[in-house]
Structure 1
């Protein structure tokens, strides 16, 4: 994580280039996976917000309310007009995302309030199943990337690392592959 934190700085042209490349790559992936639909617009908006929050999390270990609250409002309005599922599905996703992370935050010291609000936002866009998969995949990515960094000594014991990059990766994985994983799981065990 230290390398990314050094690369992403407010004064750096590399920071702007990295963010632009990341945004274009993710939006292209979303457009190819989802087609050019209203739903893709809502999901693409979410990922632009998550990219912004990832960068600020890498810079300052914060997910600022001045980004989260307006984004939540915009996504709420978009979700009112554009929804593939009944609106209640997304509202329950909002509650599930908030509740799951608030509960995890009470149990551990590792999560901040920004993470809780961000998962509520993810639930509003991806729904109940999507936000739970996003949480699962975020933790999985955090483990798959964090453990080797810990074993190599690049992360010290009890050192805090930004969760934003893993939330972005986990949400993208959940959106793109969550349904396929769900179907596979039920074919194996259902």
Structure 2
């Protein structure tokens, strides 16, 4: 992708890309979440998503050696800081992983790492949040992927990393999901 090529020629290109993404994402998280306990959990999730995005851009993988320890860290944070949300957290984890596992059985479009990451997202943002994250991630992937396909920049059956779209879709869902949903419902009435 063009953004990666911009950074590849520089010393430690992917590290700089990760730092730039974190510098953009974390102020949004802090602005939206304030100094609440939730911000610690969500901020940790988004830092993890930045690392996974850079890794996905570099290697087309969401490595288990990053994802599995993240489950442990986020489980501890979620239940230590907000134990009252345990039902929503577990439901989000199941919904995030199950829906995409079922979709993955029907198509070859999403890798297992992406499915595990959505389960992780569900653990933090709950059922509604992970459903919005899946929707927005897919929307962004389509809005970027189709023009790349039409212009020949990517070939038929060529895979593109989904990590950047997961990061952007989850950020949109977390920061704006309720407002967008309420706006949509107002348009229907």
Q: TM-score range by the shorter chain?
A: over 0.9
Partner residue, 1:23 = 22
Partner residue, 2:86 = 87
Q: Structure 1 residues 49, 8: CA separation in 2 closer, same or farther (over 3 Å shift)?
A: farther
- 1:101 correspondence with 2:97: no
Shift of the alpha carbon at 1:151?
1.2
Q: How many residue pairs end up in the alignment?
A: 189
Shift of the alpha carbon at 1:7?
4.6
What runs of 5+ residues in structure 1 fail to find an aligned partner? Answer: none
Shift of the alpha carbon at 1:38?
1.1
Moved more, 166-175 or 32-41: 32-41
Partner residue, 1:169 = 168
Q: Secondary structure at the match of 1:86?
A: helix
Partner residue, 1:122 = 121
Name the TM-score, length of structure 2 as normaliser: 0.93
CA distance in 2: counterparts of 1:72 and 1:12, whole angstroms:
32
Moved more, 114-123 or 179-188: 179-188
Partner residue, 2:71 = 72
Partner residue, 1:57 = 56
- 1:178 correspondence with 2:185: no
Q: Secondary structure at the match of 2:155?
A: coil
Partner residue, 2:137 = 138
Shift of the alpha carbon at 1:88?
0.2
Aligned-residue Cα RMSD (Å) equals 1.8
- The answer to whether the 8 Å contact 1:4/1:58 transfers is no
- The answer to whether the 8 Å contact 1:64/1:114 transfers is yes
Q: Secondary structure at the match of 1:12?
A: coil
Q: Secondary structure at the match of 1:116?
A: helix
**Moved >6 Å (runs of 4+):** none
Name the TM-score, length of structure 1 as normaliser: 0.93
Q: Structure 1 residues 62, 73: CA separation in 2 closer, same or farther (over 3 Å shift)?
A: same
